[in-house]
Amino acid sequence: MQFFCMFIIIKLQIFQLIRVKLMIPETDFSIRYFIGGYDNNITYLITCNILKTQVIVDAAIDIGMLLPFIDSEPSAILITHTHTDHISFIDEYIEKFPSLTIIGHSDSANLFKRKNFKYINHKHIIKIGQLLFTAIHTPGHYYDSICYLLKPVIFTGDTIFVGRTGRVKSKSSSINELYNSVYHKILTLPDNIRIYPGHDYGKKLTIQIKENKKISPLLRAKDLNDFISIMKEYEMKR
């Protein structure tokens, strides 16, 4: 499996990312992304530019790919949900960094059973160094899905991708809950929030909410029934 790494310096500049120009907002942190894993999964490495604190999002990529870019032991790893492809390398991460705090939804606690697991719920505020995350519980694709808002970006796992929402194919999926999570928790955020998804499925890696609405019928449904109908049509075309 070929892996890719790109470093994003977030300083009101335009960068070439996978042949697409993106306007990156001004912040006090930077993001590296690593693509590979089971199905173009993405692991993110966030670095606070003030205190140099580092945080990982999902353990989908071999830890060896991240090590050249880790300055010291990361403070935490944020789990977007516990589908295997998003946590497949978690044991490697813990072996390399034994004091690494694992952060995920309270419903995930039994899966980890580690003293350094910290459970969170909807609207929980997570402060790591100078990085301030807001947890948004977004069940639907999976029961323990969490999106992490770090303004002006959001790490959405498999809840929303570039160009579409997540799917509802597992036993713990619910299209009603997915609709509620997407339409009442994510799309209600400011339009300029930039989505960083859990897989590289789109024509570009990231996208602002306002642009994603324009290109995705799944994000323009009139109501729940319309959303269900659009999802059925999407699945039939796959």
Q: Find the domain containing 99 and state its range.
A: 4-237
- Give residue 113's pLDDT: 66
Residues of the chain with pLDDT under 70: 1-26, 112-114
Query: pTM for the whole thing?
Result: 0.87
Query: Using H for helix, E for strand and C for coil, what is the string for the chain?
Result: CCCEEEEEECCCCEEEECCEEEECCCCCEEEEEEEECCCCEEEEEEEECCCCCEEEECCCCCHHHHHHHCCCCCCEEECCCCCHHHHCCHHHHHHHCCCCEEEEEHHHHHHHCCCCEEEECCCCEEEECCEEEEEEECCCCCCCCEEEEECCEEEEECCEECCEECCCCCCCCCHHHHHHHHHHHHCCCCCCCEEEECECCCCCCCEEHHHHHHHCHHHCCCCHHHHHHHHHHHHHHC
pLDDT computed for residue 110 by the predictor: 73
pLDDT at res. 109:
73
Residue 139 and residue 147 in contact, taking contact as beta carbons nearer than 8 Å: no
CB 101 within 8 A of CB 126: no
pLDDT at 78: 97
Are 187 and 138 in contact, with CB atoms under 8 Å apart? no
Q: For 47, what's the count of Cα atoms within 13 Å in the CB-facing half-sphere?
A: 16
The pLDDT value given to residue 171: 86
pLDDT one-digit tens code per residue, 133-160: 999 999 999 999 999 999 999 999 999 9
What pLDDT score does 142 carry? 94
Domain count across the chain: 1
Per-residue pLDDT at 23: 32
* Cross-sheet strand order for the sheet of 41-48: 4-9, 29-36, 41-48, 54-57, 76-78, 101-105, 117-120
Asked whether the beta carbons of 181 and 80 are under 8 A apart, the reply is no
Residue 179 pairs in a beta bridge with none
Q: What is the pLDDT of residues 74-100, one digit of tens each?
A: 999 999 999 888 999 999 999 999 999
The one-letter amino acid at 138: T
For 15, half-sphere exposure in the C-beta direction (CA atoms, 13 angstrom radius) is: 18
CATH, residue 178: 3.60.15.10
